[in-house]
Chains A and B, each alone.
Chain A
């Protein structure tokens, strides 16, 4: 299996809702990432997990809460979002993050709309 999968594909939520995005990979990768991508912009790094521990948080607001239950799964919990948080949320994975850069493979993304 050489793919990163994400669910749901689309999500519409109100500003008071709580929802979660899910990401899964079965490539044995030990690093997983969350990115946010606005239209016509490059992906913007949010979080990095390495060996199931949070290693990078790019000053993301606390209404976004990541979780890595095991080496194959990555969740992003959403609460009290703002309309400007509407974007494509991409998950990615790579072998690991220790000492050299490894290829990152992206999932198809979740298109989030906050109303």
Chain B
């Protein structure tokens, strides 16, 4: 089955800095890669996703890049703010909407 590795497990940055979270996947048939943000005690919230026919996608301060050859994808957050503090999960799917999640990255943004 699919295996998703996510790094780092914890990331601390100063407000205004950029943050990058990286994931690798094992199954080259995976074609959908969403990112979820989960604040403490709340639901996972879909923040951005990318499909295998696209190399990069951007939404305001958030961007995701995909390298199919290397089987890795990354989340980039620019101009971080304290409200970006949360746990971020990457995931991969081989169609059919069954997601395999990474173990999560706790992002801490200090004012």
A contacts, CB < 8 Å to B: 31, 40-43, 45, 48, 56, 90, 94, 96-109
Contacts and interface: CB of A to CB of B under 8 A. Distances in A.
Contacts of B45: 106
B98 A48 contact: yes
Chain A contact surface mostly: loop
Contacts of A96: 97
Interface in B55-111: 87, 89, 93-99, 101-104
Interface string B36-49: 10000011111001
Interface in B15-61: 31-32, 34, 36, 42-46, 49
Q: Using C-beta atoms within 8 Å of the partner chain, give the interface range for chain B.
A: 20 to 34
Of all A-B residue pairs in the complex, the 5 with the closest CB atoms, nearest first, are A42-B101, A101-B32, A101-B93, A106-B43, A97-B97
B43 A101 contact: no
Contact of B34 (A45, A104, A107, A109): A104
Given A41-B104, A101-B96, A102-B97, A108 B42 contact: yes
A48 B97 CA distance: 9
A101 B95 CA distance: 4
